Structure formats: structure tokens, C-alpha cells
Amino acid sequence: MTVEQDMFDFIDRCPDYRSTRPMLADLTQNVRKLGFEHFIFSGIPLPGDALEPLVELNGWPQGWFERYVGGNYADIDGVCRYSRETVRPFFWSEVPEPYFTTAQASRVVNEATDFGLRSGYIVPAYSRRHWHALMSFASPERTLVLSKRERIAVNLMSMVTISSVEALRSEEDRDRLLSPREREVLLWAAMGKTADEIGDILVISTATVRKHLQNVREAYGVSSTLAAVALALQRRHIML
């Protein structure tokens, strides 16, 4: 089967997916044929912003994702920094050398190889949910080569994936609207109040506050209240 046929078959299947999990599995199977083992679809964080709330589809190695997010590597990673400044797809190897001159940027590159991310390809994209977004594909090969047709296939599959995921996320947002009380608790959390303080303000138990915050984190699919706050503010579910 040709790369074009694989691409069109994937595009045909995308509208039928009702969740991101099978779409991720389908895309993974297709891009592996081109030498990629991992990928991520995310909004591009501005300097100082957290990455985790912007991630829409995560196919990175779990350990690497945790390290990248925990170390706020988006601010020092040359590939991510360059992604903020271009709208053209590019190989990681095409990022200009000045983006890797710092010791921190070099450390990110070296640590990524420990997780099998040695080379890659970026497809910047328009997004309705983010100021700028990307699909980042990673390969364990040190030198990744794609033909013109293969690059076109990756570009088109990326665009369709982004569009399909955003359509699903819009449906999920409608299905996961926060309750008035959850929104109220999250708003106080966004203002820096502890669970005990929120309980005193709303005249509810600390355990109830924590349960509301757990529900909020689950609704947004994030692991921290801070990430939930960032996502809620971005989507204007709460306003400071």
C-alpha cells in the first residue's frame, strides 16, 4: 500500500472516531511506517506558560513528558522556541544553531535521546483553541529522511488530526461543563486560596473542597489544580 493510500484511508476514518484514543492509535500505526515512534499535538506555550494544559494528544514517552513538563523545558528547548517563530514544517535538524547554544538547550537534546527521541519533524498549525499549535513527531533514528510525498502525507495527516481532535474537544467541553460549585471552588483556588480557606469561605468541609477540585482535574484531564486553573482561564470557564 502506498503512503498516499495510507494517508487517505486515515483521513477517511478520522470523522468516525468518537474519542481521541483510537485516533492516537491509528495515527501512531501510520507514522511508524515512516520511522516515527512518538508524537504530541499541543498548543505552543508562550514564554513562562505551562505546557501541560495545552496538550491535546500525547504520544510521548511518559517519563519524558513528565520530565519535560516538570522542568518547564518548553522555555529552553530550541525546537519549541523555534516553533513559536515559524509556520513552515521543519525537521528538528533544520532548527538554526543559535537556538541550541545554551547549556540548558543542549541538555534537553541529550536527555531526549535517553527516551529514544533522536530526530523529529514539526508541523506548525492553525488552531481554534490555541494562539499557535504543532504536531511534533519523534524518531529513534539519528538521521531521519522523508521523501517529498511522505512529508506531504505527514503534513496532511497532521492537519486532519488537529481538526478532528479539536472537534472532539469541543464536544467534550460541552459535556464537561463545570457545576456552579466546581467553578466557584476553582475560582478561589485560582486566587491562591488553600482548600481549608476555600472551605471557610464557602462554609463547606475541606474534604468537599478537595473532592470538587478532583472532579475539576478529571474533567479537564490534567493532574494538577494549577493546570486546571490555566485551562479554565484559557477557555474562559472562569474569569479573574
Instruction: Work out the average pLDDT over 30-57.
Output: 92
Q: Name residues whose C-beta falls within 8 Å of residue 45's C-beta, 6 or more positions apart in sequence.
A: 51, 54, 74, 75, 80
155-167 per-position pLDDT tens digit: 999 999 988 888 8
CATH class of 3-173: alpha beta
Average pLDDT for 148-154: 95
What percent of the chain is predicted at pLDDT more than 90? 66
pLDDT, tens digit (0-9, with 9 covering 90-100), for 119-147: 999 999 887 778 889 999 999 999 889 99
- What value does the mean pLDDT of the chain take? 90
Q: Decide whether 3-173 matches 176-234 in CATH topology.
A: no
Mean pLDDT of 96-123: 96
Give the E-state strand segments of 78-173 in sequence order. Answer: 90-91, 119-125, 133-139
CATH number of 176-234: 1.10.10.10
What's the rounded mean pLDDT across residues 104-123?
A: 96
Does 236 have pLDDT greater than 80? no
Question: Could you count the other beta carbons within 10 Å of the beta carbon of residue 72?
Answer: 14
* pLDDT mean over 16-44: 93
CA 106 to chain centre: 22
- CA-nearest of 42, 19, 23, 16 to 172 is 19
Q: Which amino acid is at 31?
A: V
Residues with Cβ within 8 Å of 182's Cβ and at least 6 positions away in sequence, in order, are 212, 215, 216, 219
Beta strands in the chain (DSSP E): 38-43, 55-58, 90-91, 119-125, 133-139
pTM: predicted TM-score of the whole model, two decimal places: 0.72
Return the domain boundaries, the chain: 3-173, 176-234
52-102 pLDDT, tens digit each: 989 989 999 989 999 999 999 999 999 999 999 999 999 999 999 999 999
